[in-house]
Amino acid sequence: RAAQITPDNHPNKPGLLDNLGSSFTRRFARLGDLADIEHAISNHERAAQLTSDNHPGKPSYLTGLGNSFLTRFERLGDLTDIEHAISNHERAVQITPDNHPDKPGLLSNLGQSRSAQFIKSGHYDHLDKSICAFRTAASSPNGPPSIRFKAAKQWSYLAFRELRRFDPSDRSVLAAYRLSFDLLPRVAWVGLNIDSRHHELLVTSSLACDAAAVAISVTDPQLALTWLEQGRSIVWGQILQLRTPVEELRLSHPEFAIELTRISKQLERGASDNNFGTDHHHHQSREEAGQQHRQLAQDWDRIVEQVRQKPGFEHFLLPKQFSELRHAARDGPVVVLNVSEHGCDALIIVSPSEDLQHVRLEDFSNKKAQTLHQLLHNILSHQRLQARYDEDGRGAGPVFDGKFRGDDAFRPILAELWKSVVHPVLECLESLQVCVFASNRQNRDSYRIVDSLTYGGWIFPH
């Protein structure tokens, strides 16, 4: 009704039409009535037609139109729709300055449409253009860190799952994962509400495991270990509510913490607000938005460097390198297990002075790990097994009811872990003439592994 009673020459008319189109798209997603997506497309088209290219809302209107065409393509599979989706997303990218904070999001939308086109066609050219869009979005110095992080994840996913089918020797996926981990501290800094935390933890753990598997596949186990530790520290820091770098900084240097929090929130907001006025004013606002965002990014880097000058903060927001991690083996070997869809591996830090060892777990898989996890869950649920927790939140050990025989119930799980995981690791250690256990090593190591396979487990077999 608001759109109907507003004249076409009114500056708010395009925005009203765009909102109406978005509402029709959401209703189509819920009810599936094709008439709704038709109305969505027509309203988004009208909004785009009523605005000039230097209008600040034009990229948004083109994006809404492109997304509507993409939605219809996903339902009907008409190639004309995906071509229209791509052309509108391309146009939105073209009329937006490179330094504008909305540019990475627009590029990501283009990448999504190109990806849908590739899934339909299977053509390498479509895949290459999709990866190019995501790579450019992720590599942009401007834009909300979360948008760039998601683009980097899409880039890494396509590069590993699809691009390497065309070119098995391609190593560009490493650059994608490196950028993902470079952006991770900025994303984690903003903080997560309760609703978002579980999803982000799953994303981070999956990213780290997949990235480690890729690093191992290109014979860089030290990089794999670094990525696993970076992901593990974030995941378990959230789960156990450990003190984060933000809180450490807030306690020691509150002025820096306050400033970084302010900047990160402004960077995350981007510049999506649409204001209406003269075209000249819009053009100035668009350029000013880019300059302001670039200044915020520079301020962030400057303050982080200042923090790293402070005692105790020399490695602030930096991942631990292998040169630091290797000291965990000062009292004996440390085994790090990685379970991913791309493969399962053990990385062994034998001692602080020896090279990192890699063992491929040929008889273990992500699917098998999930099966064992479900079996363990069923056992615990059926027997009403409850875990006691001490005041620090760490497991104090299992409590069994009167009829429960823990050894019998766990035996199949432990046997599989011994055969597929523990035995290959111990064989490697024995080949290096490393003494691990004097006796009863099967049960001792296996029980530790059950707990550690929850995510990127660190095992201290000594």
Over the stretch 69-80, which tens digit does the pLDDT of each residue have? 999 999 999 999
Cα distances (Å, whole numbers) of residue 333 to 195, 329, 330, 460: 39, 5, 8, 6
Backbone φ and ψ for 347, nearest 5 degrees, come out as -110, 130
Residues in CB range of 115: below 8 A, 6 or more apart:
127, 130, 154, 158
Task: Report the half-sphere exposure of 280 (CA within 13 A, side-chain side).
Answer: 0
Percent of the chain at pLDDT above 90?
A: 44
Q: How confident is the model at residue 204 (pLDDT cuts 50, 70, 90)?
A: confident
| CA dihedral of residues 348, 349, 354, 360 (deg, nearest 10) | 10
In tens, the pLDDT along 59-105 reads: 999 999 999 999 999 999 999 999 999 999 999 999 999 889 999 99
The per-residue pLDDT of the chain, averaged, comes to 82
- Taking residues 362-379, report their average pLDDT: 90
Q: To which residue do tokens 């490695």 refer?
A: 315
Output the pLDDT for position 316. Answer: 87
Instruction: Assess contact for 332 and 274: CB atoms under 8 A.
Output: no
Residue 416's CB is within 10 A of a number of other CB atoms, namely: 19
Tell me which of 223 and 279 has the higher pLDDT: 223
Among 28-37, 265-274, 344-353, which is the least confidently predicted range? 265-274
In tens, the pLDDT along 406-422 reads: 567 788 899 999 999 99
Does this model's pTM top 0.85? Answer: no
Q: How confident is the model at residue 201 (pLDDT cuts 50, 70, 90)?
A: low
Instruction: List the one residue out of 159, 56, 158, 145 whose CA is nearest residue 104.
Output: 145
Residues 121, 249: Cα–Cα separation, whole Å: 50
Burial class (CB in 10 A: 0-12, 13-18, 19+), 392: exposed
